[in-house]
Amino acid sequence: MKFEQFFFGGDYNPEQWPEETWLEDVSLMQSAGVNLVSLGIFSWAKLEPQSGIFDFEWLDRVMELLHSHGVSVNLATPTAAPPAWMVHLHPQILPVTADGTTLWHGSRRHYCPHNPDYRGYAQRIARVLAERYKNHPALAMWHVDNEYACHISECFCEHSVAAFREWLKLRYTSLDQLNFAWGTAFWGQAYGDWNEIQPPRRTPAQKNPTQQLDWTRFSSDSWQVCFEEQKRVFKEITPAVPVTTNFMSFHRPIDYFKFAQLEDVVSLDSYPDTSQPDWMVHSAMTYDLIRSLKKDNPWILMEQAASLVNWRQRNAVKRPGVMRLGSLQAVARGANGIMFFQWRQSKFGGEMFHSAMLPHAGTDSRTWREVSALGNELPRLSNLLSSKVEAKIAILMDWENWWALELDSKPSSDLKLIPNLQAFYRQLYERNIMVDFAPPEADLSSYKLVIAPNLYLVTGIAANNLNNYVANGGTLLLSYFSGIVDNNQHINSGGYAAPFHEMLGLTIEEFVPYQAGFNNTIRTTDGKQFKNTFWADVVHLNTAETLANYEQDYYAGGPAVTRNTFGKGTAYYLGTELLPDGLEWLIDRILEQAQVRPDLPNLSAGIEVMLRSDKSKEWLFILNHTATSLEVPTGKNGTDLLSGQEVNGMIHLSAYAAAVIEQERIYRGVV
């Protein structure tokens, strides 16, 4: 998708307001620099008040009004909010939980993705919308549904069971293959007929791990199918109009790497908890993931809060300057659009205390002033619309691995992927080193360093990819409980981490998951001591050298951190979990060896730096997340696009302020 301007705006729900308000809305939008709104997201009941009876006149008037005020429309399909009549006519569209409870009408997302009646209605409303607005000059984009798999991610109704069986038939073609993959020889679970197969419902003891994994794969695919059905309609009727749906951070139920390939542009809803001192690390990591889903393509921040949300126990305001800073953080990490939930704060309904661009207090308010100031300054950044973020490090992220890793009955049920990804990510964030996320089967050749935390499930293709990456000169850091199972979740024979033995130059005999509160220490070969926690692998070296050994317990003296030269590259292995100081030591060593350096070294804590660049220019984003004014080195001279001022090697940033310095492109980062 080509961006001609930064998008700025939000969800617009005019159906909650009398028509008199609409005129005020559009003129305020104009004054706040709004150029795009997401319209009609929950309007199904108003657009189709009875089955097949449509009322578009109000929407026609809204579209015209927006268009005449220079606001384009990201037109939504309202399919996340099936109307009451549909539920009344077809109660079987309602989703059913694993224990058989039906979830009723009265909020939203109350549909089963496998229900044929629902899917028919959804495609029909998409088609009617597309036919009606296909030539409307305000139509800029299609927004399909809203946050797939939010609130409910799976359905256990009879339609879902039937769809699961069909999905399994396609995947395995024969029951013999399914029985093999699911390992049904264990506990006599063999199937002799497809109709005997059930989803992983409540069982007396451990469920079949592969059955559970396939169910999650299937459920993830099902949301994709719903999206694709609507997208097909749009591609038929409005082939040139981009299609998106709004994603949600590290959202476990859907494999976003897979899903994103179906979208013309990736978009994200982001609600960091700004009461947490490290909120910006969480949002940075999310933005880097979202950018990586469609590498080298800009994305859109489709929703964020202007200030507080209303769904946490205690909802933090965004303090003065924080909303702007967070928005610029998204731009720094590849966003070409800053949008909000929602335009005007609701007067009623479940979200009336959720902040909005135009708050209950009206325009004489801090929120409005900050929102309209941002909308009016974003166009100053238009030079960088076609720039990219070029990272030299990738952290591997694989949804299937995430699902499999966190199923029950593991050596430790406390092993969770995202906190571990974050521990590595934080090390790089704090050094202001740019990071992509990549699936393990991706082309990794452009990265100097790849970090793979807990890559428990690894396909043959991924294992080859990683081995080749190192053999061809890459540096890899793999952490414990990696390479353990194949695609079917069967143990890889030949000792743990078998697909990587040669590359790592070691074998792993057993795991030692620690009891809560138990720690150990490691002693490094350069004389340092660090605490390690949670887990220890009992490792036997082959060609690898040890960089640190355990100090206590029966495996004392055994390697905790190793390094091995493999082909032209180097593979590091971390057989335990380190606290931040130990991780800092390890990452420093690896970065030095991989020759990756920060763009601007030795910055004060709380300063975030990112770079977007094109062939001839680069834009250095400097964000001050602290409550104090700071002098920050800028590396070289340029112009701060936000203030319009020339910068000579140093910039003064007041509390929560930011600069975007346009500079001639130089060779940076990688020595």
Catalytic residues: 147, 303
Interface segment toward ligand GAL; rule CB under 6 A; list 146-154, 176-184, 434-442, 652-660:
146-154
Tell me whether residue 268 or residue 641 sits nearer to ligand GAL (CB atom): 268
Nearest CA to 128 among 60, 73, 183?
60
**Minimum gap (Å) between residue 528 Cβ and ligand GAL:** 45
How does DSSP classify residue 246?
E
Pairing of strands 519-524, 529-541: antiparallel
Asked if 370 is part of the footprint of ligand GAL (rule: CB under 6 A), the reply reads: no
Site string for ligand GAL, 268-297 (x = CB under 6 A): -x-x--------------------------
Strand partners, 519: 533
**Between residue 340 and residue 359, which ones bind ligand GAL under the rule CB under 6 A?**
341, 351, 354
309 touching ligand GAL, by CB under 6 A: yes
Closest separation in Å from C-beta 269 to ligand GAL = 5
Complex with ligand GAL: residue 346 or 459, whichever CB lies closer: 346
Detail the DSSP E strand segments found in 177-298: 243-244, 246-247, 267-269
- What is the DSSP track for 454-511? T--B--HHHHHHHHHHHHTT-EEEEESS-S-B-TTSPBPSSSBTGGGHHHHTEEEEEE
Q: Does 145 bind ligand GAL (CB under 6 A)?
A: no
Near ligand GAL by CB under 6 A: residue from 25, 145, 147, 214? 147
Question: Among 145-153, 192-200, 331-339, 576-584, which window interacts with ligand GAL (CB under 6 A)?
Answer: 145-153
In the complex, what is the shortest distance from the CB of residue 312 to ligand GAL, in angstroms, rounded to a whole number?
10
**Contact by Cβ (8 Å): 25, 343:** yes
Of 38 and 387, CB closest to ligand GAL: 38
Stretch that binds ligand GAL, among 63-71, 142-150, 284-292, 356-364 (CB under 6 A): 142-150
Contact criterion met (CB below 8 Å) for 608 and 592: no
Using a 10 angstrom Cβ sphere, with 0-12 exposed, 13-18 middle and 19 or more buried, the burial of residue 666 is exposed
Between 109 and 563, CB nearer to ligand GAL? 109
Q: Which is nearer to ligand GAL, 154 or 303 (CB)?
A: 303
| Least CB distance to ligand GAL at residue 355 (A) | 9
Least distance (Å) from ligand GAL to the CB of residue 150? 6
* Nearest to ligand GAL of 352, 627 (CB atom): 352
Angle at 64 between CA 346 and CA 50, to 5 degrees: 65
Where does 270-398 have alpha helices with state H?
Answer: 279-293, 322-332, 366-377
* Separation CA 175–CA 43 (nearest Å): 44
Q: Looking at beta carbons only, is 90 or 143 nearer to ligand GAL?
A: 143
| Site for ligand GAL contains 303 (CB under 6 A) | yes
Give the interface size with ligand GAL as a residue count (CB under 6 A): 10
> Element (H or E) spanning 526, and its range?
none
CB 447 to ligand GAL: min, Å? 32
Question: Any contact of residue 148 with ligand GAL (CB under 6 A)?
Answer: no
Pairing of strands 529-541, 576-578: antiparallel
Contact, 149 vs 251, CB < 8 A?
A: yes
Using CB under 6 A, which of the segments 19-27, 143-151, 253-261, 279-287 binds ligand GAL?
143-151
The whole-angstrom separation of Cα 475 and Cα 451 is 9
Contacts of 449 (CB under 8 A, 6+ apart): 392, 393, 394, 474, 475, 476, 477, 590, 591, 594, 596
Closest CA to 38 of 233, 236, 245, 234: 245
Q: Which residue is nearest to ligand GAL (CB)?
A: 341
For ligand GAL, the binding residues (CB under 6 A) are: 146-147, 150, 269, 271, 303, 309, 341, 351, 354
